[in-house]
Amino acid sequence: MRVLGVDPGLTRCGLGVVDGLSGRRARLVAVGVARSDPGLDVDQRLLAIATSIDAWLEEHAPDAVAVERVFAQHNVSTVMGTAQVAGIAMLAAARRRIPVALHTPSEVKAAVTGSGRADKPQVQAMVTRLLALTEVPKPADAADALAIAICHLWRPAGALGTPQRAPGSLTPAQLAWAQAEQSARRGAR
C-alpha cells in the first residue's frame, strides 16, 4: 500500500509518500513541502498549496491519503488556515476516489514512537529510523507528513482513523475504475 501523508499548513504543508512493506516495514518514496507566500491573499495561497498537492497525487498515485486531524489551538487564524489546507487535501483525494483518513497528532505519535505524548525530536528520530534514512527529513513539517503516512500504514483494521468514507460509497464499477486509474498513473512513471 502506498500512502501520501499530509501535515496541513498554510505556509508549509508537509507531504510524504511511504510504501508499506511486509513485516510492518515502510519505505520512503518522496518527501517535501508545499509552500505558499504569506504576502499573497489567502485564496492564492490555498491555490498554490492545492496545485502542489494535485501534482503529488498525480506523480505518486497513492492508494490512500492520510491527513493530520486539525485540533483547536489558541490562535484561531492558524487553525483556520490549517483546516482549509486539510480540506483541500481531502477534496483533491476525493476527486480521484482515493480513500482519505484523518489521524490525530497523539495517534500519530503513538503509532511512530509508542507514546502519544512524544515530542517532535522523538517523532523525527523514529521516522528517520523506521525509514532507514541517513538524516532527519527537513523541515519538521516533512517529517510529520511521513509520520502521518506511517501511522496510517500501521493502523489496526477498524481502528479510529480508518478511511472517513461512508460504507458502500463507491460502487464496484467506481472502485474498479479508481483502481485502473491508479495502475495507469503508476505505469506512466
User: Active-site residue among 7, 37, 63, 107?
Assistant: 7
Which helix (H) or strand (E) covers residue 123, if one does? helix 120-130
Residues forming a β-bridge with 187 = none
Residues forming a β-bridge with 18 = 3, 28
Is 7 annotated in a binding site? The answer is yes
Is 141 annotated in a binding site? The answer is yes
CA-CA distance, 59 to 185, in Å (whole number)?
Answer: 7
Q: Is 37 a known active-site residue?
A: no
Is 54 annotated in a binding site? The answer is no
Q: Is 144 a known active-site residue?
A: no
Q: Is 7 a known active-site residue?
A: yes
Q: What is the DSSP string of 37-77?
A: -TTS-HHHHHHHHHHHHHHHHHHH--SEEEEEPP---S-HH
User: Active-site residue among 19, 58, 59, 141?
Assistant: 141
User: Active-site residue among 37, 54, 59, 68?
Assistant: 68
Binding-site residue numbers for Mg(2+) are: 7, 68, 141
- Please list the active-site residues: 7, 68, 141
